[in-house]
Each structure stands twice: as structure tokens, then as C-alpha cells.
Amino acid sequence: MKTYSYDPDAAQSEASAVLLKQLNPVGEHISTDSFSALLQMLAQAPADIILLELPPEAQGGTRQLRRLLAAAPDSNLIFVSSHPEFAFDAFQLHASAFLLKPLRESALRDAIAHLRYPLHEQLQTEPMLRVQCFGGFGVFRGTHQLTFRRGKTAELLAYLVYRRGVLCSNTELAQTLWSDADTPADKFPYLRKLIKDLRDTLHEAGADAVLIKEWGSIGIRADLLDCDYYRYLQGSRHAADQYRGNFIGNYSWAKIADRYF
């Protein structure tokens, strides 16, 4: 998959490319904050998807978009804007999708799944990590076990695995990881450090796509994990997928589930 991301705000453009990279790690995802540069890139090589801010009419938006449509007649256009009133204009241009800022991974994933011009290449769906929950918690990339710079990061990831893809708010995570804290919000600064540690470790392992980050919440993509606990819930009778006296570690929040097993 080849994509171009355009936004006059360079940080926004780069963030869009990062999201696309997470959804399609093997693709080529290029960002730019220059509309003329976008046109030059299209002249050199077409893109499967163009993710762009809808240019305002005051800045010659209609003229710019005509040039874009002429340069990329077969590309899927996904417009991103802070102005919902621009949606009609976007679909008049045969857009594949119109998304509101801040751009969310779940919304972008859904847009890519329903493109006007479907792609032969699929998004990443094969498991990227192996997760062991029974007999102690561990996460592996191939034969290499992931280690974290902060000890509590492993517990954070264990809880996200336990929640099986549900987006968890910062408040829920703070209340869970520090159940004895009088004010969970006091733990938010340290929680942000744990999330950064998790993201950095997954990036180093080439597994960025596993983590889903939304506004004020995070989760994991359960479909990218080869997990004994998930297979157990699916009815597996394999010995490796059965409870062996310990579930997901000696964490206080896991004791209720441990009693269930």
C-alpha cells in the first residue's frame, strides 16, 4: 500500500502517516505539508490512498482539488477536517471517506475497509506477538521475550490483553493499576510514562500496530495477538491453552479471574 498524507500543519500530516504505518506496517507512507509537493509526488508515482485536509475555498481550494483529481484519478481520497459542514463538498468530489479531527485509528481503519477503489493488499491481520497468560505472563516477538524499562509497564500490557481490545480510559487504568490510590488522577503523569514505555518497546519490536491510542484511552488489537487465553475462550482443548495454576500474573485485579479458572 502506498499512501500520501497532506496537511498544512506538518505535525498533523506526520501524525496521519504514523497512523497509516500502524495499520499497514509493510506499506510506504509519506507525509507533506505542501500541496505542490503532493502534486509533484503524484506526478512521479500514484498513491492508493491520499489522506488530506480539505483546502479552504479562500485559499483556492477548488482550483487545487481540480489539479489533484486530474493527477490522481484512481486514488482513494480520504478527507480530514475540523469542519463537518465540508462533508458534502468532499463527497461531491467522490471521496472514499470524510473524517473529523482529531483523526482516530478506528475511524481510519473503517474508512480503509470501505474504499471507493478497494485495495488488493489487506491491512495487517496476522498475529505479530505471542502472549502467554497461563502459567505466568509473557509477551514474545518470535523467540524473543519483550522486556520493559519500567516494571509496571508489563502489568499495563497484561491488563490491556485481559480486556481483549476494549479501549480503556486513563481513569480506568489508574484505578486498576493503583487500586489503593485516593485520587487516580494523581497517577496520570506516571501512567503516561508507562504508555510511552509500552509504545517504545512495541516500536522496537516492530509491533506498533498492536497498540490502539485514542483520545484519553488506549487498547490493543486482539487480532494481532497469538494468545493462549484467547484460544481458551474460543474453546481450544490444546494443553498449552489451559489454566496451569496462574492466570496473567500476581496482579490484584487478576485475582477474580484467577478464581474463575
pLDDT in tens, 45-56: 999 999 998 766
> What distances in angstroms separate CA 211 from CA 99, 105, 118, 146, 172, one per listed residue?
21, 10, 25, 14, 17
The one-letter amino acid at 173: L
Q: Are 150 and 200 in contact (CB under 8 A)?
A: no
Most confident of 115-129, 164-178, 232-246: 164-178
pLDDT in tens, 75-100: 999 999 988 888 888 888 889 999 99
Q: Which CATH number fits domain 2-113: 3.10.180.10, 3.40.190.80, 3.40.50.2300, 3.30.300.130?
A: 3.40.50.2300
Of all residues in the chain, the percent with pLDDT exceeding 90 is 47
Residue 152 confidence class, pLDDT cut points 50, 70, 90: very high
Q: Is the pLDDT of residue 126 over 80?
A: no
- Tell me the C-alpha distance between 104 and 44, whole Å: 29
The stretch 225-242 carries a mean pLDDT of 87
**In the chain, domain spans:** 2-113, 129-260
Dihedral of the CA atoms 239, 242, 247, 249 (nearest 10)? 10
Q: Is the pLDDT of residue 4 over 70?
A: yes
76 bridge partner residues: 49
Q: Tell me the CA end-to-end span of the chain in Å, nearest whole number.
A: 43
Q: Is the pLDDT of residue 168 over 70?
A: yes
Cβ contacts of 63-66, under 8 Å, gap ≥ 24: 64/35, 65/93
pLDDT in tens, 171-219: 999 999 998 877 878 899 999 999 999 999 998 998 888 998 888 899 9
Assign domain 129-260 to its CATH architecture: Orthogonal Bundle (1.10)
Is this structure's pTM higher than 0.75? no
Tell me which of 59 and 237 has the higher pLDDT.
237
The DSSP-derived string for 185-244 is: GGGHHHHHHHHHHHHHHHHHTT-GGGEEEETTEEEE-GGGEEEHHHHHHTT---GGGS--
Q: Are 220 and 161 in contact (CB under 8 A)?
A: yes
pLDDT of residue 185: 84
Tell me which of 161 and 241 has the higher pLDDT.
161
Dihedral sign (CA 136, 142, 148, 153): negative
